[in-house]
Structure 1
Amino acid sequence: MKLAPAQLAKHLQGPLAPVYAVSGDDPLLCQEACDAIRAACRAREFSERQVFHVDAGFDWNLLREAGASLSLFAERRLLELRMPAGKPSEPGVAALLDYLTRPPEDTVLLLSLPRLDGKTQKARWAKALIDGEACQFVQVWPVDAAQLPQWLRQRLAQAGLAATPEAIDLLVARTEGNLLAAVQEIEKLRLLVEGNQLDAATVQASVADSARFDLFGLLDAALAGEAAHALRMLEGLRGEGVEAPVVLWGLARELRLLATLAWQQGQGIPLERAIGQARPPIFGKRQALVGRAVQRLPASRWSALLGEAQRIDEQIKGQAAGNVWNALAALTLQIAGSRLPLPPG
Structure 2
Amino acid sequence: MKLDYLQALKRIDEARGAWVLHGQEPLLEQNLIDAFRASWQKQEIERQRFDITSVSDWKTVFNALNSLSLFSSQLAIEVHGNIKPDANGLKELKSYLQHNEHNLLLVVMPKQDASSLKTAFFQTIDANGVNVALTANYAKDRQQILAVEAQKLGIKLANDAWQWLEQHHEHNLLAAKNSLMRVSDTFADVDIIQIDHLYSCLQDQSRYTTYDLNDAMLQGNLAQSIKIFQYLIASGEPMSLILWSISKDMRLLMALFEQPQNALQLGIWKTKVSLYQQALRRLNPNVFLAWPALLLRIDASIKGLGHENPEHLVQQAIASLCGRSLF
Category of TM-score, reference length = shorter chain: 0.5 to 0.7
**Residue aligning to 2:90:** 93
Which of 182, 185, 210 is the matching residue for 1:188?
182
Change (3 A) 1:61 1:231: closer
**Residue aligning to 1:32:** 31
SS of 2:48's equivalent? strand
Change (3 A) 1:65 1:29: same
**Residue aligning to 2:309:** none
Which of 121, 124, 138 is the matching residue for 1:125?
121
- Give CA deviations for 1:141-161 in whole Å, capped at 9, x if unaligned: 134457545654553344223
The Cα shift of 1:16 comes to 3.3
Question: Counterparts of 1:245 and 1:144 in 2: how far apart (Å)?
Answer: 32
Structure 2 alignment gaps of length 5 or more: 212-244, 286-327
> What root-mean-square deviation, in Å, do the aligned CA atoms of Structure 1 and Structure 2 show?
3.8
**Residue aligning to 1:231:** 270
Question: Counterparts of 2:136 and 2:281 in 1: how far apart (Å)?
Answer: 26
Asked whether 1:172 is paired with 2:166, we answer: yes
The Cα shift of 1:210 comes to 4.2
**Residue aligning to 1:50:** 48
Q: Is the 8 A contact 2:84 2:121 kept in 1?
A: no
Q: Tell me the number of residue pairs that the alignment of Structure 1 and Structure 2 aligns.
A: 236
Change (3 A) 1:86 1:71: same
Quick check: which has more Rg, 1 or 2? Answer: 1
Structure-to-structure mapping, 1:270-289, within 5 angstroms: none
Change (3 A) 1:29 1:118: same
**Residue aligning to 1:4:** 4
- Give CA deviations for 1:67-123 in whole Å, capped at 9, x if unaligned: 23232314322111212x2433444434333333332x5422111122332322222
Amino acid at match of 1:69: S
Q: Percent identity?
A: 25
Structure-to-structure mapping, 1:1-345, within 5 angstroms: 1-12=1-12, 15-46=14-45, 48-56=46-54, 58-83=56-81, 85-103=82-100, 106-132=102-128, 135-144=129-138, 147-148=141-142, 151-163=145-157, 167-196=161-190, 197-198=193-194, 199=196, 200-206=199-205, 209-211=209-211, 212=245, 215=252, 222=264, 230-234=269-273, 238=275, 243-245=279-281
SS of 2:2's equivalent? coil
- TM-score between the two structures when normalised by the length of structure 2: 0.58
- Give CA deviations for 1:227-286 in whole Å, capped at 9, x if unaligned: xx9334437xx3x99714499x9xxxxxxxxxxxxxxxxxxxxxxxxxxxxxxxxxxxxx
Question: Counterparts of 2:6 and 2:182 in 1: how far apart (Å)?
Answer: 26
Q: Is the 8 A contact 1:153 1:168 kept in 2?
A: no
Amino acid at match of 1:110: L
The Cα shift of 1:170 comes to 4.3
